[in-house]
Chain A
Amino acid sequence: MSQNERYLLTRANIEGAHQIAVAEKHGAYAALRKVLKDGVPYSAVIDEVKKSGLRGRGGAGFSTGMKWTFMPDPVKDPRPRYLAVNADESEPGTCKDRVLMERDPHGFVEGVLLSAYAIRAQAAYIYVRGEYRLAHDRVAAAIAEARAKNLVGKNILGSDFSCEVHMHRGGGAYICGEETGLMESLEGKRGHPRPKPPFPAMYGLWGQPTTVNNVETVYNVPFIMERGSAWFAGLGTANSKGNFLCGISGHVNKPGVYEFTFGITAKEILEQHAGGVWKGRGLKAWFPGGSSCALLTGKDVDVVLDHDSLRARGSSLGTAAMVMIDDHTSMARVMEIIARFYDHESCGQCSQCREGTQWLSQIFHRIAQGKGQPDDVATLEALAKGMAPGKTICALSDAAAIPTLSAVRLFKDELLECVRQKRDPLAQPMPQYAVAGGHH
């Protein structure tokens, strides 16, 4: 079991793999066929995934098998059950699910079907980010092709397993990627996250038992079922198993989506795969897993990119979307952009988040404009502490507060210097774009 074993992007890198003939030639639906032909009990699928140690790839990193066990016993609770697949990937920096959906939609559909099988769902709803038109079209075409071969729909491959797969395109709201906001949106309502409890497994889509899984998570399932949990558990580190997709972006020479086995360091990814920081510059800071994670400094790039190692450094793996920031960059400007994003995307239900995200955005904007006030940095810290952790219905408030707290902790002097000099010493002329319907 090599640390160089690759499987996530293998089929995706084959020309034409979005067509069922090519995909099947390269192993798509083999795991589904095997499970249905052998009559593997659904509980065995759950057990296998649980034993594999697969953790959700949507950011929270919760054990997938464990999540599936939260679904009520279908005998005791005969309500309809649903699988909702979160393909509303819109965290700044994250762009991994898109690759899977565009390049290997059949592998993805197979993962959806096996996951639905495991939780005994009659229907699966795929919530695709609105901007992902190609991904949507490819997956929709894949579902149609699969349906023609009796891989989707009633009595799949002659078994007693039936599952409809529906597609839904988002309208461009980040909050609809929050699992309960996603469900509200699927029901045709505003994407306002629901307070928990009740949890989706008891009260999900239309009030029925529902599991929400990420695209990459379900994509892993066929591989686990085909090659066994022992194979999967043999990949990676103690608590982070398997391979993961890492989208590296920002100031690097070769940005892109790469596949790695857990255990690789960020330094290796940056230097050996992404071609190092661009223009020969140094690494000032980086987000290890999307903009909702705490910032790390360039010194932390030696960290192993997995759940435990990043937590030990005060950050988190998130969606493993590394955003690299070079040493010519103003952190006030970086945080201005990040904070504006959360202000724009807060759903507005909770007071802390609605007002707090706007406030953070206004303060960072002021600092970046050289109009900061002496108390601004202290206010930023106090506000972020008032917004998190767990003070609101969903985690968007935390997602805005966490990078803010890390920026204030790591780059306090730089921010204060902007205030003191009444200008941002690292400010760079920004390219001017005409923005239609701009905010602020």
Chain B
Amino acid sequence: MVKIIVNGREIEADPKKPLIKACHDSGVDVPMYCYHPGLEPVGSCRICQVEVKQGEAPGRVMVACRTQPAEGMVVDTESPKAHETRKECLEFLLKNHPLDCPICDKAGECDLQDYTYAEGQAAGRTHEERRELDKRKSLGDTIVLDQERCILCSRCVRFFEEVPKQAQLTVSDLGSRSVIATFMDRPLKGKYQGNIADLCPVGALTLKKFRFQARVWNLVKMASTCGECSRGCSTTVEVLRGADVKRVRPRENEAVNKFWMCDIGRFAFERHNRPGRMEGAALREGAKLVPHPVEEALTRLRDELMREKSAAWILSPWCTIEEGERAKALAARLGHQLCFISPEKNGEQDDLLHTGDPCPNRRGLSDLGIAGFEAAKALEAAKGAKLVVLLGERVVELLGAGEVARLDATRVAVHLVDEFALDVPCVKSVFGAANCVERVGTWANVDGVRGPISAVKAPPIGARSPAKLMDELVRLMPKLQEHAR
């Protein structure tokens, strides 16, 4: 480490990392387009100009992404010379930029927009027509390219070269005629395409699934964790006006996913927006499930749980560590069996992120000592029980609605806590459950790294998280509560 002075403040910097990283790490904002902390710096956009003084030599304006910190270096990111150079650079970048911010999905989180505001050059000096290029060039199933907005930072090109290590994009042609292209206009392939839309500092690369879906300033964003495999990539879940999840993006986490996530996880949010969700609770009355006050349904469930010794709990693999702890304690006190559904590997494994194990909290639940069984085996193990509690989101989906229906309704009573109701004879009660964007908790990934899930939006009325449901059950069991103390 070396000591450098940035804007009058002494900071420690790694001489092997570019100066811009040292600035960012110490909270100093330096604009960037081509630089990205997850990619090799190329120094081509020239926006990260800062004034650097070394020794007695007069200060020189240089790009912070291609400058190595050296002992005693004095850096001024706000000097008039640095601002002047950045302002010039912005003018060039805006020369052919279409300025269609009002219809651009990137507006509001666009680096070009932000730095242009920051440098405050409102008037343009061009008399020329702007470059006219393809404004909606499809690059496959995931991405659309707007060649006019592109500022040729080449982050997307380098992403495919450096991260999945499978080059797919290139800069084609020369100079002001340069465009981003795939070889022979072939569509992009692989499951990491979505990352280039995050990387794009302007609105040139957009996700087909996010185009014209929301203005980004209307999105509520919260830190969460992806539940599509045991990697548990850190994410940000973005919800429009408390209703639908519109976008999930990777959140920087050096220990897990760096800056990236796969498209399977990225687009899995669509199931959170499915209509027909279960509200409150329902109890079986003869042939039908009939809505009942949750208190009443809970009391009935408590009574049955306390009466029936031959009972099995089957947890969803999406259950959090906190939910696992509660279920374990409850099952132990009541003398019930407990397992979680352990889905089979799904063949999506790759060298980058996806583990192929669609069980986001396997490590967390296993570490609690809860056994994991494949769906068929979990049901098989529950066959001897008189009462089965299916707990957590997607539990019916994983077990198979048909399989659950085949349970003998005269012998087995099923109590279901899921996002959706399942109206088959064996199901005696149903509680609406909050899914992983509607409740809080913690998952532990394949390496034991814990990641949070957040309640970005409210669950349907009366629906609750499995943790809350179990807490309520415990409150309704006075003896057990005392015993637990």
Interface contact A351-B128, CB-CB below 8 Å: no
A120 within 8 A of B: no
Instruction: Kindly specify which of A107-115, A327-335, A354-362 makes contact with the partner chain.
Output: A354-362
Indicate which residue in A173, A352, A354, A359 contacts B126 across the interface (CB closer than 8 Å).
A359
- State how many angstroms separate the Cβ of A266 from the closest Cβ of chain B: 32
Number of A-B contacts (CB under 8 A): 92
Cross-chain contact B46 with A352 (CB below 8 angstroms): yes
- Among B169-177, B185-193, B217-225, the stretch in contact with A: B169-177
The answer to whether B175 and A359 have CB atoms under 8 Å apart is no
- Cβ-defined contact, B95 with A346, below 8 A: no
Interface SS of A by simple majority: helix
Residues in A whose Cβ lies below 8 Å from that of B96: 355, 358
CB-CB contacts below 8 Å: A343-376 with B: 343-359, 362, 366, 373, 375-376
A354 touches B88 (CB 8 A): no
Closest to B33 in A: A351
Q: Is the CB of A355 within 8 A of B92?
A: yes
Stretch at the interface among B37-45, B141-149, B380-388: B37-45
User: Contact at A351–B45, with CB atoms within 8 Å?
Assistant: yes
Q: In A97-116, which residues have CB < 8 Å from any B CB?
A: none
Q: Is the CB of B89 within 8 A of A354?
A: no
* Interfacial residues of chain B within 88-103, with CB under 8 A of chain A in the complex: 88-89, 91-93, 95-96
Known interface pairs A355-B93, A362-B128. Does A348 touch B176 (Cβ–Cβ under 8 Å)? Answer: yes
Residue from the set B49, B88, B93, B175 with the largest chain A CB neighbour count within 10 Å: B175
Within 8 A of A (CB), among B107-137: 125-128
Q: Is B152 an interface residue (CB 8 A)?
A: yes
Q: Evaluate whether A346 and B92 lie within 8 angstroms (CB atoms) in the complex, with A195-B66, A352-B46 already known.
A: no
Task: Select which of B42, B89, B127, B176 is within 8 A of A343 by beta carbon.
Answer: B176
User: Counting CB contacts under 8 A, is A391 at the interface?
Assistant: yes
- Nearest A residue to B63 via CB reads A195
A346 touches B44 (CB 8 A): no
The number of chain B residues touching the other chain, given as a range, is: 20 to 34
Contact B44 A349 (CB under 8 A): yes
Contacts of A195 in B (CB 8 A): 42-43, 63, 66
Report the Cα distance A195→B176, complex, angstroms: 20
Closest chain B residue, CB of each to CB of A193: B44
Interface contact A357-B175, CB-CB below 8 Å: yes
B45 nearest CB neighbor, chain A only? A351
Q: Give which listed residue, B66, B93, B171, B174, contacts A345 with CB less than 8 A.
A: B174
Say yes or no: A351 contacts B47, CB within 8 Å: yes
B92 touches A373 (CB 8 A): no
Residues of chain B within 8 A of A351, CB atoms compared: 44-47, 89, 92-93, 151-152
Partner of A348, one of B49, B93, B152: B152
Q: How far is the CA of A212 from the CA of B93 in the complex (A)?
A: 32
Q: Are A352 and B89 in contact (CB under 8 A)?
A: yes
16 A-B pairs (CB sep. < 8 Å): A173-B174, A190-B171, A343-B175, A343-B176, A344-B174, A345-B174, A346-B174, A347-B174, A348-B171, A349-B154, A351-B44, A352-B46, A353-B175, A373-B127, A379-B125, A386-B89
